A and B are shown apart, each in its own frame.
Chain A
Amino acid sequence: MEARKKGIYVFILAGLLVSVALALLVSPWASSAPDGLEKVAEDKGFIEKAEETDPAWESAPIPDYAVPGLTREAVDEETGEVVEEPTKLATALAGFIGTVAIFLIAWGLALVLKKKTSEKAETTP
């Protein structure tokens, strides 16, 4: 039983390492093309509806999966203008922070929810 339990944590740790590696090392090279919905919105001419709307939540600490402040100058392929764009490091760090944060948040939330069950189980018999 004890060995079985240990095995879960080995599995969890390995899975977390894989997830963090994906977010940290692979996400900077993910496609930056518009996703399915964005592409449809562009093609069918309703993307403006989102662009003209002020976001209802403007306090996101890491907007658009890029840690703020880490930018470099790049030439916009469409307009030819020099623009500031997030570096690969900004994306990698965003992925790392997000993956670890959500792991901890989910664990904490699950513990809070679970505790109530065990309390209930203790008081019912």
Chain B
Amino acid sequence: MHIPDGFLNTGVSVATGAVAAGVVGYGLYRAREELDERSVPLLALCAAFVFAAQMLNFPVAGGTSGHFLGGVLAAVLLGPWLGGLVLTLVLVVQCLGFADGGLTALGANVFNMAVIGAVASYYLFALGKRLLPKSRASFLAAAGVTSWLSVMLASGACAVELAISGTSPLSVALPAMLGVHAIIGIGEAVITVLVLSVVLAVRPDLVRTYDLAGPAPVLADSEVNR
């Protein structure tokens, strides 16, 4: 979903870039408070995994491929702001190091995949988590559904940007983008749930937003002691 140079007009590039810069700037500010000895290596690992996984294009219908985005995974593991920074860093390295995504479209790509795909989608996840009963299964279900949604929202935003830029009318680009990404999003959900399941099985304490087992056991312990 990395937009190359040439698809967006200047207005869309500048507008998405400005919003992306604002959100990333706030994310950097939040990162100062949120980063601690534990989250520094986790952030690095998360960035490395998202980069590696984004290289693994899997085939979907009709001679098309898709790949993992990782926005919701990163945000669930690290929280929305550090998660958004991970996606931003991956996109910057892909653009400057690997010529994946145009430099003039970098702002739009960060807007679609980090701001919408990680930060905004995280709040959908948080909403889903609140609505569902507190259990590991519903935590994973909320992550799975919102990771699918994150791909749909990001591709929808991409279609809107193409339309405003005069590259492809919305009536053409939107259904086409949503159609193919509805399938790619299933891959996103499967990988997100799979990775979260593994981390929850091995080190649930490293999943920042997994607070089901937060204060409760501590309370139980203190009650036992009394």
Contacts and interface: CB of A to CB of B under 8 A. Distances in A.
B158 A37 contact: yes
Interface of B: 1-7, 28, 31-33, 35-49, 51-53, 55-60, 62-67, 86, 89-90, 93, 95-100, 102-104, 155, 158, 162, 167-168, 172-173, 176-177, 180-181, 184, 202-203, 206
Contact of B206 (A11, A46, A64): A11
B121 to A, nearest CB: 17
Contacts of A117: 32-33, 35
A35 B103 contact: no
Contacts of A102: 47-48, 51, 89-90, 93
Interface string A37-78: 101110110100111111111111111110000000000000
Contacts of A83: none
Contact of B176 (A43, A49, A114): A43
A107 B33 contact: no
Contacts of A94: 98
A39 B55 CA distance: 17
Given A94-B98, A107-B44, 16 more contacts: A12-B45, A32-B57, A34-B64, A36-B60, A36-B66, A49-B167, A51-B6, A56-B102, A57-B96, A57-B103, A63-B98, A65-B100, A102-B93, A105-B93, A106-B48, A106-B89
A63 B3 CA distance: 15
Interface residues of A, number: 66
Contacts, number: 212
User: Chain A: interface secondary structure?
Assistant: helix
Interface of A: 5, 7-9, 11-12, 15-16, 18-20, 22-23, 26-27, 30-37, 39-41, 43-44, 46, 49-65, 94-95, 98-107, 109-111, 113-114, 116-117, 120
Given A33-B57, A49-B167, A7 B203 contact: yes
13 contacts: A8-B203, A16-B45, A22-B53, A33-B57, A35-B66, A44-B173, A46-B162, A62-B97, A65-B98, A94-B98, A98-B52, A102-B89, A110-B40
A50 B5 contact: yes
Contacts of B46: 106
A95 B55 contact: yes
B136 to A, nearest CB: 19
Contacts of A51: 6
B89 A114 contact: no
B58 A31 contact: yes
A113 to B, nearest CB: 5
